Structure 1
Amino acid sequence: MEKNLREIYGKGDRIELTISDIAEKDQCFGRLGDGAGVLVRGMLAVGDRVLAEVTRVKPTYLEAVTRALLEPSEDRVKPACPVFGVCGGCKWMHVGYEAQLRYKRKKVQDALEHIGGFSDMEVQPVQSAKRALHYRNKVEFSCSSKRYLMPRELDMEVLEKPKDFALGFHAPGNFEKVLDIETCYLATEDMNSALAVTRDFALEKGLSPYAARDHDGFLRNLVLRRSEEHDELMVNIVTSSYDAGLMAEYRDRLLESMPGRNMTIVNNVTARKNTVAVGEREYPVYGDGFIEERLGDLHFRISANSFFQTNTSQAEALYDGIMKMAGLRPDDTVYDLYCGTGTITLYLAERCRRAVGLEVVESSIADARENARRNGIGNATFCQADLKDFHTLLDSLEEFGPPRVVVTDPPRAGMHPKALRTMVRLQPETIVYVSCNPANLARDGKEICGWDYRLEEVRPVDMFPHTSHVETLACFKRTV
């Protein structure tokens, strides 16, 4: 609009509009009858007709918060979770799954067009998940002495649960308060059973919950992991100190409450002043202290603090997509940048002459080498390196020969500019870029194409149903 919107609208104005698109940071977008654009906060779906209140007036658009849903979209469904809208974990559970896939495809398409300038690239349909619920193989619960009260409890004289104990998820934007969760609909049934047993045991024994601000309390976290291949559960209870007798009682309670369940139990202990669920020391309580999982033909040993993709079946789909885009030949050398614990590198190594994984985290490199040993893969090499200094490693990597294929799976912030420039100077025929952030994929993709590459294929994979997150595979081919 040519007119300054501040001349027309003011803070507190009530407006009606229909949501036409999903925006970033839990916002949606719509337009008023006069063409003014509005960013609206609230759990909304494309097609919702809402009453909103203006919270900020910018020269060219408005910001608003939803006050009422006037007419629901056809994309809306009833959320399975009773704490939807309060828990920040599944912000798209009110949207039908097929609609979620459309939204995610459009999110990738829009980023490539508006940020990367790829106006002629048609993004493929999102590869859907086999299960939209109960799909996570790892769930991390926090314990707190400050329970986040549900809206219906605010006026109650007698609360439904103790106010000074919660085991669940942190309330959005609040590092102290935790929403007490009875059932997580992304966790499996046995994970939810272990959660219930742990809560009952903690309350019965009077275990003090952790207070983040005061750095006080015994019970800090409950981290649950599950192997689909072996139907095995890992229970990792994180505490501020070690009590062997108490852990023996906890073990017995779990085994009695979940008879026949194949499980291992560990106790991570930390005195750090943070809410990170990683221990400084680890004590085995029951079993081997690890679980094993399979991806394709590979087997991985997963300890309490190991990294592993949290959606096993979709990880296979993702890695199969990487293999297809890479188009490997038996005599190829492949580089895997930001390789983590080596899962992608080992997938690649089975189909090429040499796979080289590079990663900055020392413990991840150690896990990667152990995974290679356990799977009998001798043609995978792992190097610890900060990828921003990738150019300093090239002489030491000469023995493997130039890579025909490079796979890069950077963190959410995207590739470091120095790493990207070094990668394209290697002139691989094919670059497969694995992204968890469409905006940074578009930004880095534009840079890659400036070095005589073209974007040939884009395929999103839905690793995290009921969230706005989407993993994307992009294939770049050298043009000269």
Structure 2
Amino acid sequence: MSLRDVYRKGEEIELVISDIAEKDQCFGVLESGAGALVRGTLAVGDRVRAKIIRVKPRYLEAVSLELLEPSSDRVDPVCPVFGVCGGCKWMHVRYDAQLSYKHKKVADALSHIGGLTAVDVLPVKPAPEVCHYRNKVEFSCSSKRYLLPEELDLETLSRPKDFALGFHAPGNFEKVLEIDTCYLAKPCMNEALSVTREFVIEHGVEPYAIREHTGFLRNLMLRYSEEHDELMVNIVTSAFDAKLMQAYRDRLLERMPEQKMTIVNNVTTRKNTVAVGDSEQVIHGDGTIRERLGDLHFRISANSFFQTNTRQAEALYDGIMNLAGLEENDVVYDLYCGTGTITLYLAERCRRAVGLEVVESSIIDARENAQANGIGNASFIHADLKNFESLLPTLGEYGMPRVIVTDPPRAGMHPKALKTMLKLQPETIVYVSCNPANLARDGKEICQWDYRLDEVQPVDMFPHTSHIETLACFRRTV
């Protein structure tokens, strides 16, 4: 008998949540033994009432209606818009339980997807800060404010419907949820958000309307340096207004007199909501902030890539170094090197470090970072890694790598890049992954080329979210 013979769409069910699934879903089992994927803000151990929205041959899909009995993993989230804003989807879960969920996510992916069961996954390295840990936050501005559930039946609203500065509502590309305080952002970022909102409303600045492609204010992107307590304010607009920007500068400096600050204005006319400008005007300071990772120092511009959690980035990079086991005469390749932070870390411990990256602006930043830190044994090559094999004659001048570090995007390594990397037969491969499923997929392929998975170390870069970084060390067996 199939599930379709027993259950119907729209029927209500009760079940206990037993595991976390992908895409903001959880898994639970009914008393009948049937399994269900349930959407909602849930925790392992919750007993819920839910409504079936789809009956699949092997499981049900449902949406949570009521929490009948809370899990012991639950805590009260500090954010007043938790559950509406999509940024902190696990803020209702105790932090130690979050780490347990993430550990299981990595172990399950390696086992079920990769068939990699012979290695123990080490405990997740916890973040020293679970709130206010982000060094970069992007706010969006919209002419359509997302209304909170309690506002829908009100005749008079305390805030206008035609202005919002905050985060895009989940699944809604044009409406923005007004945010007063982001509990992942640094306090000075929230202060800059408040000053900006007050200023643009006072000056009648028109918010961006994405459908109509009209309006002036598009984004507010904020960056922060832990080492130097520096704040970057990047206001993204559809045009440059020198008089308005000067007044904005004066307001920020007046309201935040103790804060070291640089202010830039990115300008774009593109029909999208990406907080990157076609041109940039420096309004105050030199347009960059400075940060330190280990013994290295970096200048960060508005559109540079830099790890979002500075303190955990050091833990991540130290983990890479420990797994790489570099020796003084080693050559190491760093694939998908970005702005070269990992490459430069590696270069301090080996004869030659070579970084490869497809984004040309990142390669330019990487070379500048190497020069600024006085590192002469790091080389950076602009290349699409799906054509990795064609680069081998050029790379030969640096020597063959004993160690390769690869930090691919969320989709994992391009199959051609993976195959070429394995043809080089390095003794050690350190795979840095932000997606356990694709780590498992690529790891399965790596182990078919006479490698074994020796060590797996998850690192929690993003508390209160489902994201987890993982370091996996593969060593050649022949």
Give the TM-score band, short-chain normalised: over 0.9
Q: Distance in 2 between matches of 1:388 and 1:32?
A: 46
Q: Name the aligned partner's letter for residue 285 of structure 1.
A: I
* C-alpha deviation, 1:175, in angstroms: 0.8
Q: Report the equivalent of 1:122.
A: 120
Q: Report the equivalent of 1:328.
A: 326
Q: Name the aligned partner's letter for residue 366 of structure 2.
A: A
**Residue 393 (structure 1) aligned to one of 382, 391, 394:** 391
Q: Distance in 2 between matches of 1:33 and 1:72?
A: 18
Q: Report the equivalent of 1:319.
A: 317
Q: Report the equivalent of 1:382.
A: 380
Q: Name the aligned partner's letter for residue 241 of structure 1.
A: A
Q: 1:242-292 deviations in whole A, cap 9, x for unaligned?
A: 010100000000011111110000000001111010001100100111000
Where structure 1 has 5 or more consecutive residues not aligned to the other structure, the ranges are: none
Q: Distance in 2 between matches of 1:280 and 1:172?
A: 27
Q: Report the equivalent of 1:71.
A: 69
- State the TM-score, normalizing by the size of structure 2: 1.00
Q: 2:100 aligned with 1:93, yes or no? A: no
Classify the secondary structure of the residue corresponding to 1:220. strand
**Residue 31 (structure 1) aligned to one of 29, 32, 51:** 29
Q: Name the aligned partner's letter for residue 133 of structure 1.
A: C
Q: Name the aligned partner's letter for residue 171 of structure 1.
A: A
Q: Report the equivalent of 2:59.
A: 61
Q: 2:218 aligned with 1:226, yes or no? A: no
Q: Report the equivalent of 1:297.
A: 295
Q: Report the equivalent of 1:133.
A: 131
Q: 1:60-101 deviations in whole A, cap 9, x for unaligned?
A: 110000000000000000001000000000000000100000
Q: Name the aligned partner's letter for residue 404 of structure 2.
A: V
Preserved CA contact (<8 Å) 1:144 1:176: yes
Q: Distance in 2 between matches of 1:167 and 1:193?
A: 13
Classify the secondary structure of the residue corresponding to 1:88. coil
Q: Distance in 1 between matches of 2:236 and 2:398?
A: 43
**Residue 274 (structure 2) aligned to one of 254, 262, 276:** 276
Q: 1:358-382 deviations in whole A, cap 9, x for unaligned?
A: 0011000000000000000000000
Preserved CA contact (<8 Å) 1:437 1:471: yes
**Residue 169 (structure 1) aligned to one of 167, 170, 174:** 167
Q: Name the aligned partner's letter for residue 37 of structure 1.
A: G
Aligned residues: 478
Q: Report the equivalent of 2:465.
A: 467
Q: Report the equivalent of 2:434.
A: 436
Q: 2:237 aligned with 1:214, yes or no? A: no
Q: Report the equivalent of 1:182.
A: 180
Classify the secondary structure of the residue corresponding to 2:289. strand
Q: Distance in 2 between matches of 1:360 and 1:38?
A: 42
Q: Distance in 1 between matches of 2:278 and 2:272?
A: 12
Q: Distance in 2 between matches of 1:237 and 1:306?
A: 15
Q: Name the aligned partner's letter for residue 113 of structure 2.
A: I
Q: Report the equivalent of 1:419.
A: 417
* C-alpha deviation, 1:120, in angstroms: 2.3
* C-alpha deviation, 1:21, in angstroms: 0.1
Classify the secondary structure of the residue corresponding to 2:45. coil
Classify the secondary structure of the residue corresponding to 1:356. strand
Where structure 2 has 5 or more consecutive residues not aligned to the other structure, the ranges are: none
Classify the secondary structure of the residue corresponding to 1:142. strand
Q: Name the aligned partner's letter for residue 17 of structure 1.
A: L
Q: Distance in 2 between matches of 1:242 and 1:112?
A: 50
Q: Name the aligned partner's letter for residue 283 of structure 1.
A: Q
Q: 1:119-170 deviations in whole A, cap 9, x for unaligned?
A: 2221111000010000000000000000000111001111020110000000
Preserved CA contact (<8 Å) 1:153 1:160: no
Q: Name the aligned partner's letter for residue 152 of structure 2.
A: L
Q: Distance in 2 between matches of 1:75 and 1:266?
A: 43
Classify the secondary structure of the residue corresponding to 1:398. helix
Q: Report the equivalent of 2:456.
A: 458
Stretches (4+) displaced over 2 A: none
Q: Name the aligned partner's letter for residue 282 of structure 2.
A: P
Classify the secondary structure of the residue corresponding to 1:241. coil
Q: Name the aligned partner's letter for residue 147 of structure 2.
A: L
Q: Report the equivalent of 2:400.
A: 402
Classify the secondary structure of the residue corresponding to 1:193. helix
Q: 2:348 aligned with 1:340, yes or no? A: no
Q: Distance in 1 between matches of 2:300 and 2:118?
A: 42
Classify the secondary structure of the residue corresponding to 1:147. coil
Q: Name the aligned partner's letter for residue 344 of structure 2.
A: L
Classify the secondary structure of the residue corresponding to 1:431. strand
Q: Report the equivalent of 2:237.
A: 239
Q: Report the equivalent of 2:20.
A: 22
- State the TM-score, normalizing by the size of structure 1: 0.99
Q: 1:455-480 deviations in whole A, cap 9, x for unaligned?
A: 00000000000000000000000000
